[in-house]
């Protein structure tokens, strides 16, 4: 049995919210079963049509999107494009039986995080866990950058990797050495 990987959602006891675009009931149930068997604490919302997919994207804060490539009304690349516009930071994984190599490469270039062939569903849980970890890391880095820039706008002097940095008036970081910081505009150090 697979062990669950820890991601930000499961670590805090939250459910991982997954939007699953799939038109075949048995495949939806298989995905649900595999993720539960892997120990992923998830709430899966299944949709079948483009309208339902767009509505759910607008309505929800999704941790992950799983999508079949071949659907009756539209294809997975269209779903990927819609998801990229609506929620660009949400990982998108294709789970499909008809995803050829050329389409797989095209989907990854278009922003998909990964793809899992229905003939190799054992990869699903590791692919989902990796995508969630990558998303958590991106969000942490973004939060860190936002923190740095919020301090930078106030002229805050801070330490980073043993080097004192000061925010220059134009908003750039100036390396000024870690022993002798330059005085700030108000004459303080």
Distances (CA, A) of 180 to 162, 163, 188: 13, 10, 13
CB 11 within 8 A of CB 63: no
Average pLDDT over residues 111-115: 90
pLDDT in tens, 4-61: 444 444 455 678 999 999 998 999 999 999 999 999 999 999 999 999 999 999 987 8
Q: How far apart (Å, rounded) are the C-alpha atoms in residues 121 and 126?
A: 10
Domain with CATH 3.40.50.2300 in the chain: 8-142
> Model confidence at 168, in pLDDT bands (50, 70, 90)?
low
Share of the chain above pLDDT 70, in %: 72
SS3 assignment, position 140: helix
CB within 8 Å of 53: residues ≥ 6 apart:
19, 21, 47, 79, 82
**What is the mean predicted confidence (pLDDT) over 156-172?**
49
Architecture (CATH level 2) of domain 8-142: 3-Layer(aba) Sandwich (3.40)
Q: Where are the beta strands (DSSP E) in the chain?
A: 16-21, 42-47, 64-67, 92-96, 114-117, 158-160, 163-167, 173-175
Show the CA angle centred on residue 106, arms to residues 100 and 108, nearest 5°: 100
- Tracing tokens 């483009």 back to the chain, one arrives at 50
pLDDT at 151: 67
pLDDT at 160: 46
Q: If you ran DSSP here, which 8-state letter would residue 88 be given?
A: T
| Confidence check: pLDDT of 97 > 60 | yes
């Amino acid at each position: 049995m697979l062990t669950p990987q820890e991601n930000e959602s499961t670590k805090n006891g939250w459910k991982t919210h997954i939007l699953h675009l799939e038109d075949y009931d048995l495949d939806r149930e298989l995905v649900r079963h595999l993720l539960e068997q892997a120990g992923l604490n998830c709430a899966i919302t299944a949709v079948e049509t483009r309208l339902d997919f767009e509505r759910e994207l607008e309505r929800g804060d999704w941790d992950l999107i799983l999508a079949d490539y071949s659907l009756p009304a539209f294809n997975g690349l269209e779903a990927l494009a819609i998801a990229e516009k609506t929620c660009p930071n949400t990982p998108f994984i294709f789970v499909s039986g008809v995803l050829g190599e050329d389409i797989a490469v095209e989907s990854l270039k278009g922003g998909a995080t990964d793809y899992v062939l229905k003939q190799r569903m054992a990869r699903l849980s590791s692919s989902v866990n990796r995508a969630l970890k990558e998303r958590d890391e991106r969000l942490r880095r973004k939060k860190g950058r936002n923190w740095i820039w919020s301090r930078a706008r106030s002229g805050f002097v801070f330490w980073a990797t043993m080097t004192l940095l000061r925010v220059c008036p134009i908003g750039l970081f100036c390396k000024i050495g870690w022993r002798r910081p330059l005085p700030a505009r108000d004459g303080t150090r």
